[in-house]
Amino acid sequence: MKKTFLVFSFMVIGIFLLGLIYSDPYGSRTVTSSDNSVNPVVQQNDEIVKFVDDMNGANDTTALRIRGWKPKRGPLSGPAGTSPNWFQGNSTVFNAFEGPATGYVAANFNGVTGTNTIDLWLISPNVNGAAGDTISFYSRSPDASTFPDSIRVYWASNGDTVPGSGSFVELGKFKVSTAGWVESRYILPTAGATGRFAINYRVAGGGPSGLNSDFIGVDLIRLLGPAAAPVVCSYTWANQVSGTTALLYSVKTVSNLVGWAAGAGAVVRRTTDGGVTWGNGNPNPGVITGDIYNIEALDANTAYVTTSPGATFIYKTTNGGTTWVQVYTIAGGFINTIKMVSATNGYAFGDVLAGNWLMLKTTDGGSTWTSLATIAGTGDGRNNCLQITGNNMWFGTGQNTVLRSTNLGVNWTVATVTGITGQITGIQFNSATVGIVGGATMSKSLDGGATWALLAASGTGTISGIEGSGNDFWYVRGTTIYRSTDLGASWTLSHTQTAAQNDISLVTDANTCMVGWTAGATGTITKMTGNPVGINDPVSQIPSAYSLMQNYPNPFNPTTNITFALPTAGNVELKIYDITGKEVASLVNTYVNAGTHSVTFDAASYASGIYIYKITAGTFVDSKKMVLIK
C-alpha cells in the first residue's frame, strides 16, 4: 500500500511539474537557455528589396491580417490547441533576429491538441515576383531542442490564399535550426504580378503529447530581386581654376555641381556649377581665425570648418559662406575633422586633450556640440581622417593606429596598423569590413579595422587622401592620383596635377558613377567626372588584369549577359557547357581587342538547368556557373 502511494505521489508531482513547464501556451518545451543577443540589421548586398516585413511590430493574427498576411490552418492540421496558429515572438524563449526582442512571429506545439499534425500556413501579402527572385527569411528553434520542427516554403504565382491548393508549388523544406538564427533562401520558378509565398510549419506527430514539435520563430521576411546590373564607368580628370593661390588643406564634394574647399588663412572656396567657377566662400573675413584644416558641407548653403590657432574652433554657415558663426571652442584643443551624417547629427574628432581624445557630437545641425565619449589616449589625430558608415566609425591617428567603433562611438578599440610606422593621413572603408589606410606606405584591413596588412602602392611621398566605392579606390600622393578597380590589388595612374594634392572627396552621382574633387598646394583643384559605359561597348580604360564576371541576370530566362576583361588583345574562346560537361554553344572564337566586353547568351532553345561558361584567353582560363529557369 505504501509503495502504491509513493508511486502515485511521484506521478502527481511529475504531472504537476510537467504542467508548470507547458503552462505557457506561447512557450517552448525545451528547458534550456538560448543566446538572446540581437543581431545587427542585415545588409542587402545590393539586391533589390521588392518586399520586406521585419516583424518588428505587432505579430498577432489580427495585426498580421491588417498587413496583408493570411495566417491559416492547412488541410492536414489537427484541432486547434491553446495557442493561435501564429503569434507574437516570446523573448523568454529567444530574442528576435533583429529589432525588438519580441519582434518576430512564432508558432509552437500548442497549435494543435494531442499528437495531431501541425499544419500552419503564413501566406504573404501579394507581391510582384519575377522568375529568379529570392524569398529570404530567418528562422530558428530553441538552442539544443531535440524536437524536429520543420518548415516548408511554397509559391503561388496566381496569389492563391487556400493552403494546400494546387496553385502552391513547394520550393523546399528543412529542419529548423537549433543553434541560433539561420537564413533560408528559395528562388521563384515563375513570375506572378500578384503572387503570394507561404511559410508552412508542418510536423507530423506534433502537439503537446507528440514527440516532434516544439517552438519556431520567423523573422525579417523579404522578397529580393537580383542585384542591379553592374555599371561600368569611365573617368576623366580636369584641372580647374579655384581663384586662389592659398594652400588648400581640405575639400568636400556635395554633388556633381556643389563643392567646397578650404585652407590656409581662413580661405574658403565654393562652386555651385560643377567647378566652372569657384567663388569666395568667406567674403566677409574676421570671424574665422587661423588656417582651416577641415571643411564639411551638407549643401550649397550649409557648411562647417575647423581651425586651431591656440584654442580650437568650429564655425558654421547657412548662407553659402556669406556669414560664419562660431558654434564651438575649447582651449588647447585641436579638431582634425568634422563629419555630418544627416542634417541634424554629426561628429567632430581631435587630438588628445587632458588625457582623452577630443570626441564631439551634435544633434541640432551643428549649432551646439557636446562630448561623445571619454576615451583615454596619447598623441594626435590627422586632418580629414574620420569615416562613418552606418554604425561604424574609424579615426586615423599620428601614431600608426586606427580607433574603431561599431556602435557610433559608445565603445572603442584601438588597432596598430601593420606596415605603417608613422602618421595615418588617409582612410577609406568601402564596406564594414574592407578598408585601406595610407601614410608613408599603405595597409589594408579585411575585418573592419581589427587587423591590418601592408599593401603595395604606387608613387612616392605621403598618401594624403583616400576615397572609394565598391571595388574602386582612389588616393592622392604628391602630384599624382591613382585608382584601383580590384580593392587595392593593383593601381594605375589616373591623373597628374601641377602641385601636391592634400585631400580627395568623392560621392556617387545620379548616374551611379563617382564624382568629386581633389585640392592642394597653390590653390590647385582637380575634378573627376564619371560616365557610364554602354554594356556592349568596350570600356575606354584598359583593364589591368584578365577577369570573367558573373553573368547578369542570374538566374535568367531566356537571355543573359556575360562580361569579360582583357588587358591585352588576343584570341578568345567563350563557350557554354551543360552540367555533364557537354559543349552546347560557342559564343566567342576570334581575335578580340583589349578592353571590357559583353556578350549576350540566348538560351531560348535550351532546357532549364545549370550551365557553365568558360573563357580561354592566352594563358587565362576561368569558368562560372549560371542557372536557366523557364
- The proportion of the chain whose per-residue pLDDT surpasses 90, expressed as a percent, equals 67
Establish if 472 belongs to a structural domain.
no
Query: Would you say residue 1 has pLDDT above 70?
Result: no
Other Cβ atoms within 10 Å of 110 Cβ, number: 24
pLDDT of res. 70: 96
What DSSP letter does each residue of 500-560 carry, written as one string? -EEEEEEEE-TTSSEEEEEEEGGG-EEEEEEEE--TTSPPSSPPSS-EEPPPBSSSBSSEE
Q: Last residue of a domain, which of 225, 256, 291?
A: 225
pLDDT of res. 604: 81
What's the average model confidence in pLDDT over 168-176?
92
Q: Could you report the per-residue pLDDT of 7-36, keeping only the tens digit for each?
A: 444 444 443 334 334 456 777 777 654 444
Q: What are phi and psi of 126, to 5 degrees?
A: -60, 135
The closest alpha carbon to 569, from 548, 588, 595, belongs to 595
Q: Could you report the per-residue pLDDT of 284-318, keeping only the tens digit for each?
A: 999 999 999 999 999 999 999 999 998 999 999 99
Summary mean pLDDT of the chain: 88
pLDDT of res. 618: 87
What's the average model confidence in pLDDT over 68-76?
96
pLDDT of res. 561: 86
Which residue type occupies 371? S
Q: Could you report the per-residue pLDDT of 438-492, keeping only the tens digit for each?
A: 999 999 999 999 999 999 999 999 999 999 998 899 999 999 999 998 899 999 9
Q: Could you report the per-residue pLDDT of 526-573, keeping only the tens digit for each?
A: 999 987 754 344 444 677 788 898 888 888 888 888 888 888 878 888
pLDDT band of 233, cuts 50, 70, 90:
confident
The closest alpha carbon to 93, from 132, 133, 143, belongs to 143
Q: Which of 184-198, 245-259, 594-608 has the lowest mean pLDDT?
A: 594-608
How far is CA 46 from each of CA 51, 319, 391, rounded to the nearest angstrom? 14, 36, 18
Counting every residue written for the chain, the total comes to 630
pLDDT band of 424, cuts 50, 70, 90:
very high
CB 426, CB 385: distance < 8 Å: yes
Q: How would you list the strands of the sheet with 547-548, edge to edge?
A: 547-548, 559-566, 595-602
The closest alpha carbon to 502, from 262, 279, 244, belongs to 262
The helix (H) or strand (E) run that includes residue 622 is strand 620-628
- Find which of 48-57, 221-230, 532-541, 587-596 is predicted with most confidence, using mean pLDDT: 48-57
What's the average model confidence in pLDDT over 84-88?
94
Q: Last residue of a domain, which of 175, 193, 225?
A: 225
Establish if 58 belongs to a structural domain.
yes
Q: Which three cell numbers stand for residue 496?
A: 597628374
Q: What CATH number is associated with residue 119?
A: 2.60.120.200
Q: What CATH number is associated with residue 619?
A: 2.60.40.1930
Query: Would you say residue 110 has pLDDT above 70?
Result: yes
Q: Which of 1-10, 272-281, 512-521 has the lowest mean pLDDT?
A: 1-10
Chain centre distance of CA 152:
29
Establish if 302 belongs to a structural domain.
no
Please classify residue 313 by burial: count the beta carbons closer than 10 Å to its beta carbon, then call 0-12 exposed, 13-18 middle and 19+ buried: buried
Establish if 466 belongs to a structural domain.
no
Separation of alpha carbons 307 and 356, rounded Å: 20
The closest alpha carbon to 357, from 338, 335, 339, 340, belongs to 335
Separation of alpha carbons 551 and 75, rounded Å: 42
Handedness of CA 170, 171, 176, 181 (dihedral sign): negative
pLDDT band of 606, cuts 50, 70, 90:
confident
Range of the structural domain that residue 99 is part of:
19-225
Q: Which three cell numbers stand for residue 107?
A: 508558432
Establish if 192 belongs to a structural domain.
yes
Q: Last residue of a domain, which of 190, 225, 260?
A: 225
pLDDT of res. 560: 87
Strand partners, 624: 613
Establish if 453 belongs to a structural domain.
no
The closest alpha carbon to 630, from 196, 135, 132, 129, belongs to 132
pLDDT band of 358, cuts 50, 70, 90:
very high
Q: Which residue has the higher pLDDT, 112 or 597?
A: 112
pLDDT of res. 24: 67
Establish if 581 belongs to a structural domain.
yes
pLDDT band of 227, cuts 50, 70, 90:
low
Q: Could you report the per-residue pLDDT of 319-335, keeping only the tens digit for each?
A: 999 999 999 999 999 99
The closest alpha carbon to 339, from 329, 354, 350, belongs to 350
pLDDT of res. 47: 67
- Find which of 16-25, 264-273, 503-512 is predicted with most confidence, using mean pLDDT: 264-273
Number of domains in the chain: 2
What DSSP letter does each residue of 318-333 carry, written as one string? SSTTSS-EEEEEETT-
Establish if 286 belongs to a structural domain.
no
Separation of alpha carbons 435 and 448, rounded Å: 7
The closest alpha carbon to 278, from 341, 320, 312, 338, belongs to 320
- The proportion of the chain whose per-residue pLDDT surpasses 70, expressed as a percent, equals 91
Q: Could you report the per-residue pLDDT of 367-414, keeping only the tens digit for each?
A: 999 999 999 999 899 999 999 988 899 999 999 999 999 999 999 999
pLDDT band of 524, cuts 50, 70, 90:
very high
Is residue 121 classed as helix, strand or coil in its secondary structure? strand
CB 343, CB 360: distance < 8 Å: no
The angle at the Cα of 58, spanning 55 to 62, to the nearest 5 degrees, equals: 115
The closest alpha carbon to 264, from 278, 285, 237, belongs to 285
Q: Which three cell numbers stand for residue 74?
A: 492547412
The angle at the Cα of 277, spanning 271 to 278, to the nearest 5 degrees, equals: 50
